[in-house]
């Protein structure tokens, strides 16, 4: 869509409000709105000003002025607003230099796409994330100097099987048994279908929707793969639509990886592949139908996995899901079909176009622009340096004897450890100026000061159960 086509759409749909959206540094979608009367073709070059000092991890107050430039190709009518509202995703620029802002995550992703093409290895990286989430009926939480708690509730939570609901009609999925019972046990079919249809109406191709493994409303809607930047854009729109459809029904959605104890957490398995034009480059005659390029890409991701997790699993809660011996993959191995390995090669189809690599560690709290870019850069490093990932591990890793398991490396055990890994291993991210030293060091500093340290310094409720009477 061109600027003139956006203006024509505004006229056709009687748009009243234009909503300008962009991503802050940690990964939350931000916005401000302008009346449609101020939108003309010049604004797609001139942009709109805003205060960058009020956003997390961005400008100081002494250099706060910034501008957003709307991307006309991202224009869509918001399905939730009372007044007809046109949404556009924006790029962030410095108003003096007119250069893309280095800490704008979308800018990092655009540079990653350009760097891939500049290498001559491929012209396109495709990504297909599978974001899981919970649909809850109630969430309450607080933290003070003398108290800390959270309370979650879901009408289909197994913990409510004995509650007096006047009447309680049962049909509540047992823990780890939410995959795939039909209604009435799956009580969220209609809501997920509404989410799916809203995504399709917004221009997102959807492949499937279903209940996930956990009790309490765990769900998944799968989007068709796309190029790096458009796919990251779609992840943000996906979250926006899913949350607002749930709100419409008096429910709430969270993408936290581990909101419930003793049941499966929510991941975001990321499928990726490299192409040249219409030629898939990951298909070949090697293991599981992979090319040498794909094998080397796996080597790069496994080598840099510790650093990658600082972007793909960027919260302290992420590592409540990545626990050895439980459902999420923490062992840095690759395998065909094997979901206990950190990297899996899906074999649903023998078509070369379907050949891809699935990185199973990430979760949906990540900033998709940064996460996809980092995965791509690690894969490229593997290809450029012919990094050998070793032999595949075609065994159930959870059943390996201790002496064999000890030979398989594993992911960092905490966000702090992942940040340490990123600090020690980030040279591969700097190639092509995709990530900058400033972006890397600001990310590490922000995460340590605003997430790692605050969690580290606070008592945990379970510590009272363990230690109060000592």
Active site residues: 51, 130, 132, 212, 220, 269, 339, 358, 360
What span, in angstroms and rounded, lies between the C-alpha atoms of 41 and 161? 58
For residue 116, give Cα distances in angstroms to 48, 272, 446.
30, 14, 28
Backbone φ, ψ for residue 372 (5° rounding)? -65, -40
318: part of which helix (H) or strand (E)? helix 318-321
Inter-residue contact 334 to 344 (CB < 8 Å)? yes
Write the burial class of residue 33 (CB in 10 Å: 0-12 exposed, 13-18 middle, 19+ buried): middle
* Cβ atoms within 10 Å, residue 383: 23
What span, in angstroms and rounded, lies between the C-alpha atoms of 319 and 89? 31
What torsion do the CA atoms of 197, 88, 28, 47 make, to the nearest 10 degrees? Answer: 180
Residues 6+ apart with CB under 8 A from 115: 377, 380, 431, 432, 433, 434
Inter-residue contact 329 to 341 (CB < 8 Å)? yes
**Terminal C-alpha separation, the chain:** 67
Inter-residue contact 446 to 25 (CB < 8 Å)? yes
Report which of 88, 34, 44, 35 is spatially closest to residue 203, judged by C-alpha positions.
88
Report which of 357, 276, 362, 380 is spatially closest to residue 318, judged by C-alpha positions.
362
Beta bridge partners of 141: 150
Residues in the chain: 470
Strands 124-136 and 226-227: antiparallel
């Amino acid at each position: 869509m061109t600027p003139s086509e956006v203006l024509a759409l505004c006229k056709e749909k009687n748009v009243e409000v234009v909503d300008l959206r962009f991503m802050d540094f940690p990964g939350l979608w931000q916005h401000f709105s302008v009346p449609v009367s101020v939108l003309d073709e010049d604004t797609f070059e001139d942009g709109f000003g805003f205060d960058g000092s009020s956003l997390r991890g961005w400008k100081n107050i002494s250099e706060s002025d910034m501008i957003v430039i709307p991307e006309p190709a991202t224009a869509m009518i918001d399905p939730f607003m009372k007044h007809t509202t046109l949404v556009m995703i924006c790029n962030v620029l410095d108003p003096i230099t007119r250069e893309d802002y280095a800490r704008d995550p979308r800018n990092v992703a655009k540079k990653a796409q350009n760097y891939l093409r500049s290498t001559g290895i491929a012209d396109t990286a495709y990504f297909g994330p599978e974001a899981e989430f919970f649909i809850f009926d109630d969430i309450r939480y607080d933290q003070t100097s003398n108290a800390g708690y959270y309370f979650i509730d879901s009408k289909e939570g197994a913990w409510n099987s004995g509650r007096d609901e006047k009447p309680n009609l049962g049909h509540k999925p047992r823990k780890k048994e939410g995959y795939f019972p039909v209604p009435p046990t799956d009580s969220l079919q209609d809501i997920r279908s509404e989410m799916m249809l809203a995504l399709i109406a917004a221009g997102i191709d959807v492949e499937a929707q279903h209940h996930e493994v956990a009790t309490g409303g765990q769900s998944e809607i799968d989007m068709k793969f796309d190029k790096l930047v458009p796919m990251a854009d779609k992840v943000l729109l996906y979250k926006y639509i899913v949350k607002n459809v749930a709100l419409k029904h008096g429910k709430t959605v969270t993408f936290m990886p581990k909101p419930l104890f003793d049941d499966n957490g929510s991941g975001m398995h990321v499928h990726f592949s490299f192409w040249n034009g219409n030629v898939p480059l990951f298909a070949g005659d090697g293991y599981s139908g992979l090319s040498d390029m794909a094998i080397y890409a796996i080597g790069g991701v496994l080598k840099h996995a510790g650093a990658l997790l600082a972007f793909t699993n960027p919260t302290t809660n992420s590592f409540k899901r990545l626990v050895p011996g439980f459902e999420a993959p923490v062992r840095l191995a690759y395998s065909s079909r094997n979901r206990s390995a950190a990297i899996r090669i899906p074999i649903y189809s023998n078509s070369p176009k379907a050949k891809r690599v699935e990185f199973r560690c990430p979760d949906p709290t990540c900033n998709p622009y940064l996460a996809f870019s980092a995965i791509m850069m690690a894969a490229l490093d593997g290809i450029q340096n012919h990094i050998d990932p070793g032999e595949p591990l075609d065994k159930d890793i959870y059943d390996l004897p201790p002496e064999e398991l000890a030979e398989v490396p594993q992911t960092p055990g905490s966000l702090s450890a992942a940040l340490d890994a990123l600090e020690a291993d980030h040279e591969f991210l700097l190639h092509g100026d995709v990530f900058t030293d400033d972006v890397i060091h600001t990310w590490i500093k922000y995460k340590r000061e605003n997430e790692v340290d605050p969690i580290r310094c606070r008592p945990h409720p379970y510590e009272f159960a363990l230690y109060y009477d000592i």
